[in-house]
Amino acid sequence: MKLIVGLGNPGTKYAGTRHNVGFSVIVGLADKYNIELSEKKHKAIYGRGMIEGEKVILAMPQTFMNLSGESVRELVDYYKCDPSDVIVAYDDIDLAVGKLRIREKGSAGGHNGMKNIISHLGTQEFVRVRVGIGKKPDRMDLADYVLSRFGKDELPEIKAGCDNACDAIALILKDSAAAAMNKYN
């Protein structure tokens, strides 16, 4: 079983913000593969289903971004997943809006949600799908930027990026992270 986690902040106040693109990826996968996101346990909203012949759990931690690892740890323990069976989708300010970067492992790269997941799992050995949200303007506070919404001119790029992230995750499940990296990085 694979655990696919999208990072974001809970509540309507944060819906559609740059920091919530991980949630957008999970909703996109749920829609595409008819997986109902109706279970509320393990500090997450999640659903179970099949993608490319693999049993999956699609999860959106409800702990707020910086404590995402609490939910991921509970899900990994409850469903007896190995950390190597975890795929995390999240935002990246170092990538242009909608661009993807897939990695099989690595550091948190300054992302507090990822720092918390790495801390709770005790490893960096899990796949991550980063979706670009664009560089923050020089005079803007980082927190204000990641909690801002996309401009109208950015909406086509971020939609395409989230769609590509869904396709990349399906390719990871069907083939490998390396195949997804070759196609989308």
Catalytic sites, residue numbers: 19
Q: Is 33 marked as binding a ligand?
A: no
Q: Is 34 marked as binding a ligand?
A: no
136: amino acid identity, one letter: K
Contacts of 34 (CB under 8 A, 6+ apart): 49
Q: Is 66 marked as binding a ligand?
A: yes
Q: Is 64 marked as binding a ligand?
A: yes
Report yes or no: 42 and 74 within 8 Å, Cβ to Cβ.
Answer: yes
Please give the Cα distance from 112 to 128 (Å, whole number): 14
Please give the Cα distance from 33 to 37 (Å, whole number): 11
Strand ranges, E, within the chain: 2-6, 39-41, 44-51, 54-61, 86-92, 100-103, 127-132
Angle 163-7-172 from CA coordinates, rounded to 5°: 50
Report yes or no: 124 and 107 within 8 Å, Cβ to Cβ.
Answer: yes
Known binding-site residues for tRNA equal: 14, 64, 66, 112
Known binding-site residues equal: 14, 64, 66, 112
